[in-house]
Structure 1
Amino acid sequence: MIVIVLLICLSIAALGYLLQELQRPTNYPPGPRWLPFVGNTPFIRKLAQAHGGLHLAFEALAKQYNSDVIGLKLGREYVVVALQYPAVREVHSKEAFDGRPNNFFIRLRTMGTRLGVTCTDGPFWAEHRNFVTRHLRQAGYGRKPMQLQIQNELNELIGMIRDLKEEPVWPGSILPTSVINVLWTFTTGSRIARDDERLARLLLLLQNRSKAFDMSGGILSQLPWLRYIAPEWTGYNLLKRFNKELNEFFMITIDKHHQQYSEDKCNDDLIYAYIKEMKNQQSEKNTTFTDLQLTMIILDIFIAGSQTTSITIDLALMMLVLKPNIQQKIREEVDANLQPDELPQQIDRTNLPYTEAFLLEVQRYFHIVPVSGPRRALEDCTLGGYQIPKNTTVLMGLRTVHMDPNHWSDPEEFRPERFLDADNNITNTERLIPFGLARRRCLGESLARACMFTFLVGLIQKFSMHKPENCLEDPSVKLQSGITLSPKPYKIVFRPR
């Protein structure tokens, strides 16, 4: 009799738990019904495969439910997706959405903890972001020293391309090293040799990592227990390998800085400045300045500088090949304003409005980060009139903003002129937000813009870009999915002018 009663009680408890798992929070944004334990994860993965990407799956749901805010549950985690400009801007502007998720994927990314700058929040995030920003500026970030470093990398890149002697090359295979070395110099005080095997391995890991996960962390974040069953398929082994090699790669440089540290070097680069702060705080019991935190800060800078910027330049070169009339127009503008041997710099942007508009259109048209975030609701709040429970993960659909026909009129057309007014001045940029807005605006925006402009103009000065003669197919404007979208490998010919 007792056993029967226990079984009945357990059954009632299990049923109550399942009903609670299935229940949507009050006034939660519209979206599909979810299953116990796994939520919408199987459905969203299937939908993403059918539509060609997670961002396109979100857009399909927005149309289905006629809402710019979609409510999901991925695994055990509430996830809300903001689509279209008003909702995306609301997420950026409300302090309630300034948090970062505290899930398995985020912790695994930083070796089991929540460290670095990108994936942290609260006082810890504010303290370290302010420190990094202050010391990068002291080292010349955003000013002439940064421009000189970019110009040095441009010269090295031009020399490498000349050595190819018009041999077809995929720009994506040579650009990341040039971009990385700009930030690497500010961070460590020296550049990395292009033929360094460790660097080649690290770049490959970054590319594989980008393709293996999406902005919601992939299935590893939503169903972390699957790592015990399928560690390779979920990407768990990849992240473990990535963490190990990354730690070894950075710790060699950090250890060398510790050995060579002196007070007079603290303004030479970020690592020396950080070590000085570690020494100043070593007597404090709860200091957050550690070697592991420094490693994670470098990781954040490395990821921000190595992929999105180089991919954007890669896509810009691809469009010059696909649109020779645009390439000619940019060349004429550059030649009219710069001497052949005059290295481009940031101040030239105002004299090259069509070139600037072209780069803006590349960022709008390709939106290589179609879904940005993730954010975490720090408290119960609202978004688009819906209730958002505390600790909900919030994603933002940038593709829907950059391809909104109600604002851009003809978003599927690649047209740089949309960013120029009647007087040839840059305009219409308020809804172009590849670097985000407000307090969490991208830390590397200044570097990214300077690199994109300087590299593009410098290459236009020295080369014309063409499709290989024996190539029958044009490069594809359809990008490969991942955390960041990237072009399928293609080749172009750089012909000296």
Structure 2
Amino acid sequence: MDFYIILMTVIGVLLLIKLISRERKKVPPNPPGIPLLGNINTLRPETMLSTMRKLHKQYGDLFSINIINQHLIFVGGYKTTYELLVKKADVLGDKPYFFTQELLRNAGVFSTSGPLWKEHRTFCLISLRSLGFGKRNIQTRIIEEIEYFLAEVENHHGDPFDIQDLVSKSIANVISALVFGKRFELSDPTSAEMCNILNAFFRSTIFHSPIYIFPFLKHLPGDLFGSKKLIQKFDRIFDIMCKILDEHRSTFDENNIRDFIDCYLKEQKKKNEAYKEHTFSDKQLISTLIEFFSAGLETTSTAIKWGILYLMHNQEIQKRMRKEIENTVVSGRLPTLEDKPKLPYCQAVCFEVLRLGNVTPTTAPHALKHDVTLNGFVIPKEATLFIDLDSINMDPEMFPDPFSFNPERFLSQDGKVTGTEKIGAFSMGRRVCMGESLAKMELFLFMTSLIQRFEIHNEAGKPLPSLEGTLGFTYTPQSLAASYKKIY
């Protein structure tokens, strides 16, 4: 009994010291919570976006969420985010624990930080650029995949269907060509299996559950948060990637580099010859491949899905896009990046899709090297940071009437594209998405090609699909059942 009293007294004193310390530091404000448990019930998956918007409206660009002994800071607004991620970028430290690290076995690029992150991010960018990543010559691969995509849409003969799986497989094939050196047939079971696992991953509510930031919860009996099931699924992806790697290694020729795997194997060979220890391991490669495949699949494919959905709801915008394409592109060929300057309205539609589609409302967590002052508040070193990209995309001062789909907000009076740098879709600073340029290419080429060849309508006799999405790691449409009437 005495021990229990002493223990509770110590805990009480520690909590009091922590509270006084935070008050002295003037950390960003937080909503009222439950004693000891804090705001554990504040951010629920089904209401998270609306709750975050209310908290930003109440507290401004910075607010806190306290969960047990963990201090979460949400940073929003373009100016405040720019101040932290660009002007104060040096204060960002190693990544804190989050569940994705568990899935990727503490390897890769997205889930790592420090020297490992810097070395491999640099290598990845150099290697991918050597393969055409971010350059115009990659559009040949994109257009090749678009032709398969359009043929599959045409095979439905105007009958309504949900296009989401087809979009996922098609976008996955673009990144597959870069990293694996080949595309998968749209009916390929391996590609379908990987897409299904990764789609389930990105839609999982595990990102809004306590286990996302509290690693010890994985030791609880059972599978309360679904983490163990997700780990098993990722083990399957690791098995698939190992098989692909073994196939590459058996045919590897350092004088004939075919794809990213070959680039890595060549670098790995150099490291093996020069150093006793280095970071270019097979585990690091496989985790990076999974990151490429999943990131290349999810963000772009989800943006395209939102684009299709918004055009179903806005037939006049769809018609205006098609008219611009017809006036610019010679009949019989698909739009290309060379046509882009003459298609400003189509560009504006794509940028509005990136803004309102809001594919990644928040970033993965960040950590600080030391306390930092921002907007008059102190963000303590031990806090976990989340960048609220939704607050940038939905800022009414930057984007008036932000919940309306209005491509013209990105057109100047003389019809030129403007203001797109304010969109928060790809974050900013050192952690800006590596695939930004490729994602923009794919979105533009897929959207213009689809609108050029098909009229998109909702299923006859049924209401339009909801514009409310489902929030997991990404924000995705609930349903996308539509009919595609071929124009020519």
Does the Cα contact within 8 Å between 1:91 and 1:383 map onto a contact in 2? Answer: yes
Q: Does 1:89 align with 2:79?
A: no
> Would the aligned equivalents of 1:375 and 1:393 in 2 still touch at CA under 8 Å?
yes
**1:58 and 2:55 correspond:** no
Is 1:195 equivalent to 2:193 in the alignment? no
Q: Determine whether 1:331 maps to 2:294.
A: no
Aligned partners of 1:275 and 1:445: how far apart in 2? 25
Letter matched to residue 29 of structure 1 = P
Per the alignment, residue 107 of structure 1 pairs with 101
Q: Aligned partners of 1:274 and 1:323: how far apart in 2?
A: 45
Indicate which of 433, 440, 464 corresponds to 2:431.
Answer: 440
2:129 maps to 1:121: no
Asked whether the 8 Å contact 2:389–2:427 carries over to 1, the reply is: no
Partner of 2:223: 232
Give matches, 1:256-271, under 5 Å. 256-265=247-256, 267-271=257-261
Displacement after TM superposition at 1:242 (Å) = 2.5
Contact 1:59 1:400 in 2 (8 A): yes
How far does residue 36 in structure 1 lie from its aligned partner after superposition?
Answer: 7.1
What one-letter code is carried by the residue in structure 2 that aligns with 1:488?
A: Q
Q: Distance in 1 between matches of 2:216 and 2:92?
A: 28
Deviation of the 1:287 alpha carbon: 0.4
Q: Match for residue 178 of structure 2?
A: 186
Q: How has the CA–CA distance of structure 1 residues 282 and 232 changed in structure 2, closer, same or farther, with 3 Å as cutoff?
A: same
Change (3 A) 1:193 1:130: same
* Match of residue 246 from structure 1: 237
Greater mean alpha carbon deviation, residues 197-206 or residues 251-260: 197-206
Q: Retained in 2: the 8 A contact 1:22–1:36?
A: no
Deviation at 1:17, TM superposition (A): 3.3
Shift in Å at residue 243 of structure 1? 2.0
Residue 30 of structure 2 is aligned to residue 31 of structure 1: yes
Q: Does 1:165 align with 2:157?
A: yes
Does 2:9 match 1:16?
no
SS in 2 for 1:410: coil
| 8 Å Cα contact 2:206/2:226 also seen in 1 | no
Preserved CA contact (<8 Å) 1:97 1:375:
no
Cα deviation digits, residues 358-417 of structure 1 (max 9, x gap): 111112122121122322112221222211122422112222222222222221221111
After the TM superposition, which parts of structure 1 deviate over 6 Å for at least 4 consecutive aligned residues? Answer: none
The answer to whether the 8 A contact 1:105-1:220 is kept is yes
**Aligned partner of residue 473 in structure 1, secondary structure:** coil
Distance in 2 (CA, whole Å) between partners of 1:104 and 1:463 is: 42
Paired residue type of 1:56:
S
Whether 1:291 and 2:282 are equivalent positions in the alignment is yes
CA contact (8 A) 2:172 2:297 kept: yes
**Counterparts in 2 of 1:117 and 1:37: CA distance versus 1, 3 Å:** farther
Displacement of 1:8 in angstroms is 6.0
| Aligned: 1:374 with 2:348 | no
Q: Identity rate of aligned residues, in percent? A: 28
- Corresponding position of 1:44: 42
Structure 1: tracts of 5 or more residues without a match: none
CA separation of 1:307 and 1:104: change in aligned 2, threshold 3 A = closer
Please say if residues 320 and 465 of structure 1, whose CA atoms lie closer than 8 Å, have aligned partners that are also in contact. yes
1:81-121, CA deviations, whole angstroms, 9 ceiling, x for partnerless residues?
A: 0122222222221224544533151431222x2x2111222
Please state how far the C-alpha of 1:214 moved relative to its aligned partner: 6.1
SS at match of 1:493: strand
> In the TM superposition, what is the alpha-carbon distance from 1:129 to its structure 2 partner?
0.7
Spell out the pairing of 1:126-145 with structure 2 (5 A cutoff). Answer: 126-145=118-137
Counterparts of 1:36 and 1:125 in 2: how far apart (Å)?
38
The residue that corresponds to 1:304 in the other structure is 295
Separation in structure 2 between the aligned mates of residue 18 and residue 380 of structure 1, nearest angstrom: 20
* Preserved CA contact (<8 Å) 1:96 1:381: no
Alpha-carbon shift at residue 333 of structure 1 (Å): 0.3
Kindly indicate whether residue 352 of structure 2 is the aligned counterpart of residue 354 of structure 1: no
Amino acid of the structure 2 residue aligned with 1:486: T
Residues 77 and 391, structure 2, Cα contact 8 Å, conserved in 1: yes
CA distance in 1, matches of 2:163, 2:263: 34
Shift of 1:11: 4.8
1:441 and 1:122 mapped to 2: Cα distance? 16
What displacement does 1:126 show?
1.2
Write the letter of the residue equivalent to 2:60.
S
Distance across 2 between alignment mates of 1:19 and 1:428: 47
Calculate the aligned-residue CA RMSD, in Å: 2.2
Is the alpha carbon distance of 1:97 and 1:56 closer, same or farther for their aligned partners in structure 2, counting shifts above 3 Å? farther
Q: Is the 8 A contact 1:21 1:36 kept in 2?
A: no
**Structure 2 counterpart of 1:176, one-letter code:** S
Q: Deviations over 1:330-360 (max 9, x none)?
A: 1110011001222222222111000000111
**Alignment correspondent of 2:469:** 479
Contact 1:38 1:223 in 2 (8 A): no
1:118-175 C-alpha deviation (Å, 9 max, x unpaired)? 1222221111011111111111112243100000000001111111111211121210
Q: How many aligned positions are there?
A: 483
Q: Specify whether residues 270 and 75 from structure 1 end up closer, same or farther in structure 2 by C-alpha distance, changes over 3 A only.
A: farther
- Cα distance in 1, alignment partners of residues 185 and 85 from structure 2: 39
Pick which of 272-281 and 283-292 moved more.
283-292
- With over 3 angstroms needed to count, the CA separation of the structure-2 counterparts of 1:280 and 1:21, relative to structure 1, is same
